[in-house]
Amino acid sequence: MKRLLLVFITFTFSLILTGCWSQKELTDLAIISVLGIDLAEDGRLIGTLQIINPGNVAGGMQGGGGTEGPPVTIYTSTGDSVTELSRSASRKISRSLYYAHTNLLVISEDLAKNQDISTILDAIERDAEFRITADVVIARGVKASELVKVLTPIDKIPANKVIKTLKFSEQQWGEFMSTSVQDTIKDLASPGKEPVITGFNLYGDAEEGKKLEGTQATEPVTSLGATGLATIKNGKLLGWLEGEKARGTVWVLDKIKQTAIGIDYKGQKESIIYQVIRQKTKVSGTVQKGKPKITINVAAEGDIGETKVPIDLTDPNVLLSLEKKLDKEIKKEITMAINEAQKNKADIFGFGQSIHRSYPKEWKKLQKEWDSVHFADLEVEVNVEAYIRRTGLRNNPHFK
């Protein structure tokens, strides 16, 4: 009886275990690292595919094996939709397009201004292969194809250059933030929140940036860099936030990792540099007599990173006065960002979501005219508390 039961179990499992029915050979795949999308003059979409050359990435460019050559190959195709341009590309490529390793989507500024990017993201979200965790950037002032075609010297795969630059600038600078396909779709679909997307620009000669020789120079002739935050409203690019307005936006969204803030002291501008090491922003909403109000509480901690004037950092009163100046500076940046968003009537901060969570019944009445009426005239209270935890490896500056 036990033997019969064992045979039955073995037979059952043999039916369940399907083996490698869906296997794909590496030599049959065109691994796409970046998808760039532009808008043609006739309204059609132009797709630029950055396909990895595995043999060249494995060490050929450093003399460690493989054939010396570009780490990626670029193909372009056109179509009335993302699906069509992707299938159209198969006419030029001898391998099956593989999007499972695509970790970057580049949308041109021209496309984002003139067409609802929701239609593009819809196709990507429906694709079972495409990662919705892939980062999204806007090609600012240049075509998406120009960004995708640039070769980079340190990171062999250009997609990694853009993603790492985005991550590290988000961590260190505070004026940019990484946004995934999933985050963008969520913001586009959610009432009371509009997405913001970091822009990337090309510096130098675009044509020289396509050549492998350019990556072998000590000073690259072409480079890629983050520039500004794109404000999206109703699926289209509305405008750009830069400098203090961009950082103020990141403050409100609770995305500041680290940043440096300059404050005036003894009549000299930005003579004290404060390095933020951690922060927390809490946003809460209330509705009183049908009128919404938002309260923002920011707590920041950091160190003194640099002094340009004589100052006694051992004096608690001096530190307290610096903290008050920091409170005002951070509040100023946040207020500037909010004023700009209210002028554009685009709730990029998710204030509407805060009202919705706490007052769902009132939100139903406010939702219809939220951006145009309620958000534009919204009362926002900003409270900031900045703390100086350390003054570095020395207390007072060496100069008098």
The reply to whether 120 and 176 lie within a common domain is: yes
The C-alpha atoms of residue 38 and residue 23 are separated, in whole angstroms, by: 33
Q: What is the CATH number for 393? A: 3.30.300.210
Q: Supply the DSSP string of 32-65, one letter for each residue.
A: EEEEEEEE-TTS-EEEEEEEE-HHHHTTGGGTSS
Alpha carbon of 87 to those of 36, 77, 297: distances in Å?
Answer: 15, 9, 50
Expressed in percent and rounded to 5, the helix, strand and coil fractions of the chain are 40, 30, 30
The reply to whether 81 and 173 lie within a common domain is: yes
The reply to whether 222 and 302 lie within a common domain is: no
pTM assigned to the model? 0.86
The reply to whether 68 and 196 lie within a common domain is: yes
The reply to whether 278 and 398 lie within a common domain is: yes
Residue 227 lies in domain: 26-241
325 is a domain residue: yes
The reply to whether 201 and 323 lie within a common domain is: no
The reply to whether 320 and 194 lie within a common domain is: no
| pLDDT tens, per residue, the chain with 400 residues | 667 677 677 766 666 665 565 566 667 788 899 999 999 999 899 999 999 888 777 654 444 444 467 888 899 999 999 989 988 888 888 888 889 889 999 999 999 999 999 999 999 999 888 889 999 999 999 999 999 998 888 788 888 888 888 888 888 888 999 999 999 999 999 888 999 999 999 888 777 777 777 777 777 778 888 999 999 999 999 999 999 999 999 999 999 999 999 999 888 888 899 999 999 999 999 998 889 999 999 999 999 999 988 888 888 999 999 999 999 999 999 999 999 999 999 999 999 999 999 999 999 999 999 988 999 999 999 999 999 999 877 777 766 5
